[in-house]
Amino acid sequence: MIFLAVTHLLGGNLYVYLSLKADAITRTTRYPLFFVFSVVCAIGLVIYACIIWRWLIERRGQKLQSDPIEQKTALSDVIETFKIALRLLKTRNMLLLLIPFAYTEKLLGGGLFGFITKPKTSSQCALVILIGFFLQSIFYYSAWINFPADAPANETNAESYFQFSSSTSQVIAFVGSFIVGLGDSALNTQLFTVLASQFKHSSASAFALFQLVQGIASAIAYSYAGSLDLQYQLITVAGTAAVGNSSRELALPHGIFFHRKSNTLYVADLGNTRVQIFSLNQPSTGGTTAVFKVVEPNKIYVDDDDDNTEPTIYIAVFVGNRVEKWTKGATHGVQIGDECRSCSGISVDREKNVYMSESDRHRVLKWSPRTNTTIIVAGKTDDRGSSSEQLSNPEAIYIDQSSGIFYVADSHNNRIQKLTKDSLDAVTVAGSKTDSPGTDVGSLADPTGVWVDEETKVVYVADTLNNRVERWLPDASKGDTIAGGFGLGDAENQFNTPNDLTFDSEGNLYVSDTWNHRIQRFHIIDNHPCTPTSTEWSKTGCMNHTRRSHTTSVLINEKVLVAGGFDNGAISNAELYDPSTEIWTTIDSMNDARGEHTASILMNGKVLITGGLATRGFLNSSELYDPSTETWTTTGSMTNARGEHITSVLTDGKVLVTGGYGDSHWLNSAELYDPSTETWTTTGSMNNTRSEHTSSVLANGNVLVTGGHVSIDSLASAEVYDPSTETWTATSSMNSARSEHTASVLMNGKVLVAGGSNYSHSLNSAELYDPSTQTWTITGSMNHARWKHTASVLRNGKVLVTGGFDHNALNSAELYDPSTELWTTIGSMNDARGEHTASVLTNGKMLVTGGSNGGMALNSAELHKLITLDDRHH
């Protein structure tokens, strides 16, 4: 069992890392992996041999020992558990999961090695175990050998290591993976036989323990793999990780610059006193020398000079205390501007003004070719400091060509400063507000490179002494690591003092890994998290925190409060969105981290947060947010801890909480919160226990609760709560059982229920509840089946449904027209998402925030461009 745990950890993480996170496996990576797999296989073989040998001895002469622990499970519990398992087995999602695994590899493998061979002796059983082990080992190796040299994730014509054909064979890959499953079946089938024979009188406990160890190991593996958080795919495009002066080698590369017209990368090869050009169209070739015999070229800038000839190169010459300009065909550079002492940064604006960092004098200069004059545009001469008007050893400069705003890597102040061309007063856009270095995501340590996405204003930083690249969203209080971050080293996911960075036209990141003498390329996933791609939806500012299963509330001051949710666990942070500026601002956090909670806007303008799931379990706590002071205060606690519940603000201002899940069971209890006294009181319980249901306040003040689920059973039942009597009355059931659906009160008083899931499949059906007759009627179906979506009633009375899940996250959106009872598909969102929120703002726009896609929480937000969405058909 210990060995199985170890192999799960090692093999699982290697698989997640290589299969899901990288599209290129180089030879230098391949050989260590072969070695690791060989060692693991050898150790496993020895352990299996020892197990089998001991078992053979026991089978020959020793009496099998039985486990003294007896099962005392109640028969009813066993029957109920078996029924749940059978119902799960009949669901479509479970069948889809079992088809490629259980019904093919597992069952066929078990039949082949467990029933056809019918090993009745210990030696036969041991033989089958060894066969399974060797089958797995052989075809693992076959799979690796069949990979082409660069191992891309998509189709390729690259040759594989063993030439079965002219190109890599998909047939071999599929056959190999299938036989790996067969080997696994042989192995597990006979291991289960061993367990059954060793623990005759407690085989159930033995099997449970075996599965528990596997489950724990798998959970640890997934957790550990997730902590790697590798959001990139990597390859070395220049240098060999060893110092050298050939065309393929580099020595202490510093500044790099991507030239779009020629698709080439310029590298300041400091140790070799030259500037090298590497073609990105042919990355395997060596570089060509564009500039030579320049003593310690630091940063570089490549300018086209507004023509199609070979570009001009500007070099910040550190030792020479100057900036040199190299034009086409030049054999030497020409100094421009005044002295630039310890020159460490260079950039050129649209007017051909040259900006240069004078590191030792703690300032940035600007030289004008029109007037041949040099002025100070950042920092103070020989005045090191950390105020907004001071710098300390500035390095790289990046100029936003569209606005003229420029950014400076203020290295010894451990921050990135943003300045306008008319002011010396800078704003910190990355790094802490103090001048102290740090290793957390809110700090930097001696940053020397900066690059800015001019469309999204996202700042990218070469965080030199932390050996990583950080991405900082606008107005964020912390960054996120997109490359490196695994300490100093020469592995492919490590750096040794990265000095500069740039991006190519396809969004690939390039980093000069100075003391590893190489340039690394990374394909960044979601490199433009706030860039619009849809015609009807526009991305607005990204939230400062990724989150799903959170809440949003439109406040009386028209701002939007976002609170809590999940992101690798429950979070407590909160932030405000200002529709007038489309900017997110982090505010004080809630007192408790929580997700799957509720938020209700009270009549006094405050927001009530209730329950939810935290790390320690479900919560009964509640707290209030006051928009006037932007503070959180705890208020009375609910009687029951619960999550997946629903809250409704009644006509008298009280808040009704219903159902949910907590304390290991589903709830039918309900309770009332009184804002005037900040106390909770229990009220009548629902007729059915339920969670992930809906509740709607009807025109008569009553509350309609629909659907939900108990265990894996979705509900069709509905019931009505009367606040005047605090009682529940069953009403007619929906036509379809559903949970994780939406319910919207239309302007005609009816309630529209749409979508959801019945644990067998997603639903696209919709139905209407008429409070006057207490009956349900089927209305037009949505164009897409979905669950965990949102539904919002617009000013024109139509209902806008967005996102959700149907196997995968959806980006589709559609409108329901109550007058025609028809659904119309509208433009899709930029990001597919479920577990998100949607809010109708006071300006009529629709704001969608966060959610998840592929198991990853999102921080993106987007607005529907149409003001009211009511002119579409007029």
| Per-domain residue ranges of the chain | 2-63+75-228, 250-278+290-524, 537-685
Q: Which residues contact 815 (CB under 8 A, 6 or more apart)?
A: 798, 799, 800, 801, 823, 824, 826, 869, 872
Please state the CATH superfamily assignment of the domain spanning residues 537-685 in this structure: Kelch-type beta propeller (2.120.10.80)
Q: Residue 485 burial (CB < 10 Å; 0-12/13-18/19+)?
A: buried
- What is the spatial distance between Cα 190 and Cα 213, in angstroms, rounded to a whole number? 17
Listed residue (47, 49, 21, 17) closest to 32, CA to CA: 17
- What is the spatial distance between Cα 817 and Cα 59, in angstroms, rounded to a whole number? 74
pLDDT below 50 — which residues of the chain? 1-30, 62-75, 78, 81, 94-125, 129, 143-144, 147-170, 173, 186-187, 190, 194-195, 197-206, 208-209, 212, 215, 217-234, 527-528, 531-534, 867-874
Contact (CB, 8 A) for 548 and 851: yes
Tokens representing residue 625 in the block: 């947010």
Handedness of CA 542, 547, 549, 551 (dihedral sign): negative
Handedness of CA 161, 163, 168, 171 (dihedral sign): negative
- What is the spatial distance between Cα 860 and Cα 544, in angstroms, rounded to a whole number? 9
> Could you please report the per-residue DSSP string of 465-490?
GGTEEEEE-TT-SS-EEEEE-S-BSS
- What is the spatial distance between Cα 48 and Cα 41, in angstroms, rounded to a whole number? 10
Q: Which residues contact 327 (CB under 8 A, 6 or more apart)?
A: 312, 334
- What is the spatial distance between Cα 141 and Cα 143, in angstroms, rounded to a whole number? 5
- What is the spatial distance between Cα 168 and Cα 576, in angstroms, rounded to a whole number? 52
Q: Assign a CATH topology to domain 250-278+290-524.
A: Neuraminidase (2.120.10)
b/e map 451-483, b = 16+ CB within 10 Å: bbbeebbbbbbbbbbbbbbbbbbbbbbbbebbb
Q: Is 760 helix (H, G, I), strand (E, B) or coil?
A: coil
**How many C-beta neighbours within 10 Å does residue 307 have?**
7
Longest dimension (CA), the chain: 101
Element (H, E) at 346: strand 343-348
Phi, psi of 143 (to 5 degrees): -60, -45
Q: Is 800 helix (H, G, I), strand (E, B) or coil?
A: strand
How high is the pLDDT of residue 137?
55
- What is the spatial distance between Cα 336 and Cα 322, in angstroms, rounded to a whole number? 8
Q: Which residues contact 572 (CB under 8 A, 6 or more apart)?
A: 564, 589, 590, 591, 592, 593, 594
- Phi-psi map region of 5: left, alpha, beta (phi>0 left; psi -120 to 50 alpha): alpha
Tokens representing residue 367 in the block: 């030289």
Handedness of CA 201, 203, 208, 210 (dihedral sign): positive
Element (H, E) at 670: strand 670-674
Q: What angle do CA 535, 541, 543 make, to 5 degrees?
A: 125
Q: Is 694 helix (H, G, I), strand (E, B) or coil?
A: strand
Q: At what angle do helices 203-228 and 170-198 cross, to 10 degrees?
A: 140
The reply to whether domains 250-278+290-524 and 537-685 share a CATH topology is yes
Q: Residue 824 burial (CB < 10 Å; 0-12/13-18/19+)?
A: middle
**What is the distance, to the nearest Å, from the Cα of residue 865 to the centroid of all Cα atoms in its chain?**
26
Amino acid at 673: Y
What's the Cα-to-Cα distance from 707 to each of 135, 644, 693, 731, 834, rounded to whole Å? 49, 13, 5, 12, 19
Q: Is 275 helix (H, G, I), strand (E, B) or coil?
A: strand
Q: Residue 292 burial (CB < 10 Å; 0-12/13-18/19+)?
A: middle
How high is the pLDDT of residue 111?
43
Compute the radius of gyration of the chain from its Cα atoms.
32
**How many C-beta neighbours within 10 Å does residue 135 have?**
21
Listed residue (549, 552, 591) closest to 569, CA to CA: 549
Phi, psi of 791 (to 5 degrees): -140, 130
Contact (CB, 8 A) for 617 and 594: no
